[in-house]
Amino acid sequence: MSLDYILLGLLREPASGYDLKAVFDERIHYFWPAELSQVYPAMQRLEDKGLLRSREAPAKRGPRRRVYQTTAAGHRVLRQWLDESPELGDERIGFLAKVYLMDELRDLSKTRQYFRELREICATRLEELQAIERGWAAQDPHYPDALSARMFHVSLTLRKGLSSLATHVKWCDESLRRIEARMGKERSNGRTIPRHTLDSHRGGHHRTDRVLDSRSRKQGRPAAR
């Protein structure tokens, strides 16, 4: 349901669905991704409820655009939502689910490889956010201070991203240390490299050939693909 409220918040300035999609992909997607196919119907619903109003906008360069904006009722609804207590909500963290079960592979070098890749992904995204912050600092001489109320709140969220990702990278590093220490112990305990590594043929089969790919009808033969 947060999407509706985010829309009300973003449409305090008038914008089209298409405009909004750009905003989502640029700034919002870090905490709330959205697709156009979800945004358009949502805006229509909110207009039907009287929380948004829209008008046909003269289109320079392109076809007709419908521009939406939050109404007074929309502002009230938004403020009521903002005034509610925070909730952590249910986060689904797929990469942790994998780590939790990864003993199944019986091969710590696989776990190590997993953490190395994860570290890379997070470090890259961290740099992305650091670049944003540098940009802000560059065009505002007393950056973290003297911000508008709007930017102040936005900067609180940026800081969250920055600190979360930095910690994430540190966790990967700590994990890699533990994994390597453990691998060292395994070797010195006389265990040789696990034989399961035989499975690693047909090089680099990342993200291909999903087996569990769609719901099968009852009694459908599993092989029938």
* In the complex, least distance from residue 93 CB atom to DNA, rounded to whole angstroms: 11
C-beta of 13 vs 59, nearer to a second copy: 13
Distance CA 25, CA 19 (A): 10
* In the complex, least distance from residue 170 CB atom to DNA, rounded to whole angstroms: 28
* In the complex, least distance from residue 204 CB atom to a second copy, rounded to whole angstroms: 9
* In the complex, least distance from residue 57 CB atom to a second copy, rounded to whole angstroms: 23
* In the complex, least distance from residue 51 CB atom to a second copy, rounded to whole angstroms: 8
Tell which one of 86, 87, 88, 92 touches DNA (CB under 7 A): 92
C-beta of 56 vs 83, nearer to a second copy: 83
**Contact set for a second copy, span 111-170 (CB under 8 A):** 111, 114, 117-118, 121-122, 125, 144, 148-150, 152-154, 156-157, 159-160, 163-164, 166-168, 170
Tell whether residue 208 is a contact of DNA (CB under 7 A).
no
Distance CA 31, CA 82 (A): 16
Tell which one of 65, 75, 98, 112 touches DNA (CB under 7 A): 65
Binding-site residue total for a second copy (CB under 8 A)? 95
Distance CA 67, CA 14 (A): 6
In sequence order, the β-bridge partners of residue 109 are none
* In the complex, least distance from residue 72 CB atom to a second copy, rounded to whole angstroms: 12
- The pattern of x and - marking residues 13 through 52 that bind a second copy according to CB under 8 A reads ---------------xxxxxx-----------x--xxxx-
Mutual angle of helices 72-82 and 2-10, in 10-degree steps: 130
Tell whether residue 51 is a contact of DNA (CB under 7 A).
no
- How many residues are there in the chain? 225
Residue 206 binds which one of a second copy, DNA, none, with CB within 5 to 8 A depending on kind?
a second copy
C-beta of 63 vs 83, nearer to a second copy: 83
In sequence order, the β-bridge partners of residue 16 are 67
Catalog residues that contact DNA under the rule CB under 7 A. 1-3, 16-19, 33-38, 40-41, 44, 59-67, 90, 92, 214-215
